[in-house]
């Protein structure tokens, strides 16, 4: 079981309805697993009533998932958005600002980057360069 990171810190995964891939998705999907190369414009048309979208981050250097989240939010998706995989604590504020509600990491990453490193970025709304410029 992986670790879920949110603004309160580490927590166990409370999602129990499973995930299906976009290729296997039917009309009434509850939760979708999408890859980082998914076109967000096509994805929004296929979401239907999905309550959760989990976007894979195959590498911490692959930022396409941030774009997927941002486009989905701008196009009106209000369900739960989760980043999964190689997201680093330093990227948590960007994940939240782009529209993700939470991040799913494995236990080895959680051991290398403990909860306090993630919590240091949990004030993502106030701690960004734009907020500092506004003074």
In a domain, 24, yes or no: yes
In a domain, 22, yes or no: yes
In a domain, 108, yes or no: yes
At residue 43, the pLDDT reads 87
Cα 61 to its chain centre, rounded Å, is: 15
Q: Which has more pLDDT, 88 or 1?
A: 88
Q: Residue 96 and residue 47: Cα distance in Å, rounded?
A: 21
Q: Residue 95 and residue 23: Cα distance in Å, rounded?
A: 25
Query: Domain of 14?
Result: 3-120
Q: Provide the domain count of the chain.
A: 1
Q: pTM of the entire structure?
A: 0.89
In a domain, 8, yes or no: yes
Q: Which CATH number is 15's domain given?
A: 3.40.50
């Amino acid at each position: 079981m992986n670790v879920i990171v949110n603004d309160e810190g580490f927590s166990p995964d409370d999602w129990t309805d499973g995930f299906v891939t976009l290729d296997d998705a039917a009309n009434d999907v509850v939760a979708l697993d999408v890859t980082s190369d998914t076109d967000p414009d096509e994805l929004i048309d296929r979401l239907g009533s999905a309550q959760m979208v989990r976007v894979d981050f195959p590498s911490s250097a692959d930022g396409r998932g941030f774009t997927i989240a941002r486009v989905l939010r701008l196009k009106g998706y209000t369900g739960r958005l989760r980043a999964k995989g190689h997201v680093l604590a330093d990227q948590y504020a960007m994940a939240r600002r782009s529209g993700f509600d939470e991040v799913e990491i494995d236990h080895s990453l959680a051991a290398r980057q403990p909860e306090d490193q993630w919590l240091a970025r949990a004030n993502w709304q106030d701690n960004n360069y734009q907020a500092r410029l506004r003074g």
